[in-house]
Amino acid sequence: MTEPRALVIVPTYNERQNLPRLTDQLMQHANVRLLVVDDQSPDGTGEVADTLARRYAGRVEVMHRTGPRGLGRSYLDGFRKAVVENVDVVCQMDADFSHDPAELPALIAGVSDADLVLGSRYVPGGGVVNWPLHRVLLSRFANSYIRTVTRLSVRDCTTGYRCWRLAALGALPLDRIRSEGYSFLIETLFMAARSGVRVAEVPITFVERRQGESKLSRSVILESVWTPWRLVARRQMR
Ligand SMILES: Nc1nc2c(ncn2[C@@H]2O[C@H](COP(=O)(O)OP(=O)(O)OP(=O)(O)O)[C@@H](O)[C@H]2O)c(=O)[nH]1
Ligand SMILES: [Mg+2]
């Protein structure tokens, strides 16, 4: 594949401080388009995104969701749109600069011999910057927990920086996905790995957000605790 055409999906909820700079940086990469999926952010991120879509007409698009919000719900809607787009790869990334746009080409390049490339904090060369100890421990614990329950061999199961080969994304049974929040990341990885998708991990340096607020709610964390069990149970019933 020479210079894959990429569509980057960025879900946003109250990211008006981050989105313009992120968009500018992403647009510096040739062959990259952006789909912002905004959940009616109270801070007006949706309007900021509309302005960016006008500035980068043809390269930046905005999906304004209505109804219940959620990271999983937003990605699901974004994926449904992405699978019929004229691109080679579909990427996922956060709006808050935890995922460095400069590392995007390395993720995209990884798709030359994988179907799903994960930007991984937990392979040699990867890491986390600015995280307080409790976040490091929570993330480490979450990963061992998920790996133990699901038997996935991936080092960073919860990373949100990802790049899919379009065909691999298109083969995911999106109608079966139940996750509404962050556990969407676990569910899609599990589905992909179990269906024989070739998963690769490339090192990333994850940087804690500097602007805006975290949206981790209790119900979203509970969903993530429960999801690995639901996935293995569903697997056994089939
Ligand atoms: N559309 C949409 N986007 C969301 C929602 N919740 C979070 N996001 C976005 O998903 C990405 C990751 O969310 P964060 O709040 O950064 O989650 P996090 O990285 O676990 O938490 P922090 O440590 O605070 O950064 C960001 O781009 C958010 O704006 C939501 O309900 N809907
Ligand atoms: Mg974040």
Which two structure tokens, joined as six digits, stand for 168? Answer: 């691999």
The residue whose CA is least distant from atom 5 of ligand 1 is 71
CA distance 95 to 43: 14
Binding site membership of 77 for ligand 1 (Cβ less than 6 Å)? no
**Any idea which ligand is nearest the CA of 49?**
1
What is the separation, in whole angstroms, between the first and last Cα of the chain?
36
Region 19-37 average pLDDT: 98
Binding site membership of 39 for ligand 1 (Cβ less than 6 Å)? yes
Asked whether the beta carbons of 201 and 120 are under 8 A apart, the reply is yes
Q: Does the pLDDT at position 213 exceed 60?
A: yes
When the pLDDT of each residue in the chain is averaged and rounded to a whole number, the result is: 94
Q: Could you tell me the pLDDT band of residue 221, with boundaries at 50, 70 and 90?
A: confident
DSSP, collapsed to helix, strand or coil, labels residue 62 as strand
CA distance 237 to 72: 24
pLDDT at 107: 98
Q: Does the pLDDT at position 232 exceed 70?
A: yes
CA dihedral 129, 132, 136, 139 (to 10 degrees): -100
pLDDT at 210: 79
pLDDT at 234: 83
Q: Is pTM beyond 0.85 here?
A: yes
CA distance 131 to 202: 20
CA distance 216 to 75: 16
DSSP, collapsed to helix, strand or coil, labels residue 98 as coil
pLDDT at 30: 95
CA distance 111 to 199: 9
The residue whose CA is least distant from atom 24 of ligand 1 is 214
Q: Which atom of ligand 1 is nearest to the CA of 214?
A: 24
Q: Which atom of ligand 1 is nearest to the CA of 94?
A: 27
Q: Is 124 exposed, middle or buried (0-12, 13-18, 19+ CB in 10 A)?
A: exposed
Range in 27-31, 146-150, 177-181 the model is least confident about: 177-181
CA dihedral 224, 42, 27, 128 (to 10 degrees): -40
Binding site membership of 96 for ligand 1 (Cβ less than 6 Å)? yes
Say which residue, 2 or 84, is predicted with more confidence: 84
CA distance 216 to 17: 19
pLDDT in tens, 73-113: 999 999 999 999 999 999 999 999 999 999 999 999 999 99
